[in-house]
Amino acid sequence: MLLRAFFIFLLLSFAVPHASYAKPPSISADAAVMMDTKTGRLYFEKNPLKQRPPASLTKIMTAIIALENSSPGDVVTISKNAASVYEGQTIILRNGDKITLDNLLKAALIYSANNSTVAIAEHVAGSEKYFLEMMNEKARLIGAVNTHFTNTNGYTHPNHYSTACDLALITRYALGNPAFRKYVRCKEANVEWIEPKKSEKINSTNRLLGGSYPGIEGVKTGSTSAAGNCLIVLANRDDRSLITVVLDCYDRYQDTMVILDYGFNQIVSLELCRTDKTSEYLPIRGGKESSVALVGEKDYTIDLLRSDLPMLKRKLYIVPDISAPVSCGQKLGKESFYLGDRKLASVYLVAEKQIPRKGFGARLYEKIFGIHS
């Protein structure tokens, strides 16, 4: 069935939330992104595909491989190799120690202990080599195609790299695991050994977990001389969930807060289509009513930056020359929404109610006297 098309600017038909537009913030980070946790859409980008050393942000992938391929309750026997790791931040692991995987994950994600990730890899895969193969394969499956790992903890290496965009994708994936979310939101914890029986208190390296910015729920810090100061954060506010990644910053905490302020203030939800709101009226020939209201087949709401709103447009396609009867819910058109030239969504328009055909007498009268409706 052919459709006739009408094209109008969406802003002529839809109320837009009132507020002033703001430019994207200026930050010190060499690369950064802000991603919507639910949809994966990016709302802020600075060199998003630039490959950089990820430092201890690497441990996010280390943790998710461990959680998906073993149990936190597993008992790990520390090898001589894992015990010999001393560079950077570590906990006191000695050859032959017995400790659960849960405690090693605490040490890796909360305290960023470099030796704990080696012990994790050896337990899960039998060796760091095989564990790294699992990490790199998982990165590809997630879509982090500009990422490659050569170690489990983030030590600098020419072939160990990622991007701000890839790290956001990896983090978004990891946050789907409830255990991972539990670890990264902890401000402090106790690491407990089975043999020898001992305990070590650890504190998060993420200063934003202290409450200096509302809604922060993790995720991970990273820092080396090559990578600079890096930070990934999850923040939730008013049913909106945002992931920020900042790499090589002068002040990673300030950069993160500035980006989050921009996101929470400038991203708005706009109802494009509803099942109980008329989008158009369609004339009906031969019906007991002369027109039928068209409503959305489903509700459709989209999040956009305020600065995008002037570019939002609608194309409306309506079925021509409709004769009664019309059924409630009958598809009679479609509206498509565009941001500039980029199509955002299409939703079918359906009849809001049934329109019966006029009776024989009424139709005969109209035919005799040349009256049409």
CATH number at residue 334: 2.60.410.10
User: Contact, 106 vs 183, CB < 8 A?
Assistant: yes
Asked if residue 187 has pLDDT above 80, the reply is yes
Distance CA 183, CA 202 (A): 12
Q: Which of 90-104, 112-126, 228-242, 285-299 has the lowest mean pLDDT?
A: 285-299
203 and 289 in a common domain:
no
To which residue do tokens 């020939």 refer?
A: 285
The domain total for the chain is 2
Active-site residue 56, yes or no? yes
Q: Do 255 and 33 touch, CB atoms closer than 8 A?
A: no
Q: Could you give the percent of the chain with pLDDT greater than 90?
A: 75
Q: Which residue in the list 46, 106, 112, 138 is annotated as catalytic?
A: 112
Residue 258 within any structural domain of the chain? no
24 within some domain: no
At residue 357, the pLDDT reads 87
User: Both tokens of residue 162?
Assistant: 């990622």
Same domain, 223 and 275: no
* 12 and 40 housed in the same domain: no
Starting at the earlier edge strand, list the strands of the sheet with 75-77. 75-77, 98-100, 188-195, 199-203
In three-state secondary structure terms, 222 is strand
C-alpha span between 82 and 102 (Å, rounded): 16
Could you tell me the pLDDT band of residue 97, with boundaries at 50, 70 and 90? very high
Tens digits of residue pLDDT in 319-372: 888 888 999 999 999 999 998 888 988 999 999 999 888 755 555 555 555 555
Please determine, for residue 196, whether its predicted confidence score (pLDDT) is greater than 60: yes
CATH number, domain containing residue 136:
3.40.710.10
The boundaries of the domain holding residue 109 are 31-249
- What is residue 36's three-state secondary structure? strand
Structure tokens at 234: 């999850």
Neighbouring C-alpha atoms within 13 Å toward the C-beta of 33: 22
Q: Is 26 known to be catalytic?
A: no
Q: Which of 170, 94, 169, 102 is nearest to 135 (CA)?
A: 170
The answer as to whether 114 is a domain residue is yes
182 has catalytic annotation: no
Q: Is the pLDDT of residue 31 over 50?
A: yes
How far apart CA 221 and CA 245 sit, in angstroms, is 10
- Give Cα 317 to chain centroid, integer Å: 32
Do β-strands 322-323 and 312-318 pair in parallel, antiparallel, or remain unpaired? unpaired
Task: Dump pLDDT digits (tens) for 120-135.
Answer: 999 999 999 999 999 9
Of residues 23, 38, 50, 59, which has the active-site annotation? 59
pLDDT at 12: 38
The tokens describing 203, both together, are: 């504190």
List the structure tokens of 300.
């459709």
Q: Is pLDDT at 294 greater than 80 in this prediction?
A: yes
Q: Single out the catalytic residue among 56, 204, 223, 241.
A: 56
